[in-house]
Amino acid sequence: MRALLAAAAGTDRLSAEDAGTVMRFLTAYLAVTGWRGELTGTPRMQERPIAVLVEALRQAGASIAYTGTEGFPPLRLNGFAPAPADAGPTGLSVRGDISSQYISALLMVGPYLPGGLALTLTGPVGSRPYIEMTAALMARFGLECTTNADATRLAVPAGRYRAADYSVESDWSAASYWYALVALAPAGSEITLPGLRQESLQGDQAIAGIMTHFGVETAYLADGSGVQLRQGPRPAASGPLRFDFTDCPDLAQTVAVVAAALALPVDMTGLESLRIKETDRIAALQTELAKFGGDLRETEEGVFRAVSANFRVANQAVATYHDHRMAMAFAPLALRGPLTVASPQVVRKSYPQFWNELAGAGFVVSEAG
């Protein structure tokens, strides 16, 4: 994102590679700033839908065309002609159960519409914490996003952001892999993770509550500098655990792998968006868990149960499907035995130092072949 923002002024072709957030946010930013050129990505990015966002931006005055398959990148951006300010806020309506990245992208560029933005979300709203995080950060930089009681109508005034000092919190999504490591580690294992806040804007902080069911206790450090994780006793469960990942879909792979490794059945809901991530994450989990004796089976519509029988780690090779989270979700299984992770460089997308930090924690990490 940083490199593309810097390059946009001097080129008419940009590639978001395989970063969905970059593609969605950059599409909105380039559209309302009048950039002209082609925005593309990897072959997998060209299979990920973007029509909902493009249609909303077109209604706001952006000229955007598809240069390949209708509804998917690459995109040709040809300028921006919004309605005048005296026409009032630009009214847009999008489904609430789509990727929150579309919604965040529209909110962030809302101030650059001459009359501001009036955004209506229809149907059930997924990944709501990400929308709330976007609004909170916009306010931190000078622009308030207001909403109605059930958060289905959001209003953003016209204006410009103002510079402000801000300390970026550590990433709870990345922290989830260390939670998994503690859950699978020997009894009493502990680790301290810096930079995580108890009063967090991130929906993936839900991992702290989820992992209590796997025996991982979270203690927030008194000075607010981070958390200490400790493996304690696992609470007794009378039946399958059940978690809804509607607001935290990026945690699903981590939890599925830990559940299978510990032979603790977990019913998982809210996984709809996993089909359109870097890969079809449900299918990828099903394929890779099977190599170890695990399974992710749909027991009823929209409900997937992570289970295992004779789960065993013994030099299996995990395919990662161009997906950083597949690599990091399966890596903690190294506590149970050796394994190989294909295309380890995929972690550069969100956690480029992941393998180095595993090595620093005592794991033997080497390049295969």
Q: Which residues are catalytic?
A: 250
Query: Rounded distance, CA 29 to CA 11, Å?
Result: 15
Q: Which two tokens stand for residue 116?
A: 């501001």
One-letter identity of residue 226: G
SS3 content of the chain, % helix, strand, coil (to 5): 40, 20, 40
Cα angle value 204/224/257 (rounded, 5°): 30
Give the separation between CA 363 and CA 215, rounded to whole angstroms: 22
Q: Any idea what DSSP says for residue 244?
A: E
Nearby residues of 231 by Cβ (< 8 Å), 6 or more positions away: 182, 183, 185, 186, 187, 188, 189, 190, 215, 216, 217
Residues 6+ positions from 99 with CB-CB distance below 8 Å: 20, 24, 127, 273, 276
Contacts of 306 (CB under 8 A, 6+ apart): 255, 256, 259, 260, 265, 266, 268, 289, 294, 295, 296
Q: Where do we find the tokens 């990026």?
A: 250
**Strand pairing of 266-269 and 241-244?**
parallel
Joined together, the tokens standing for residue 51 give 């029509």
Amino acid at 264: L
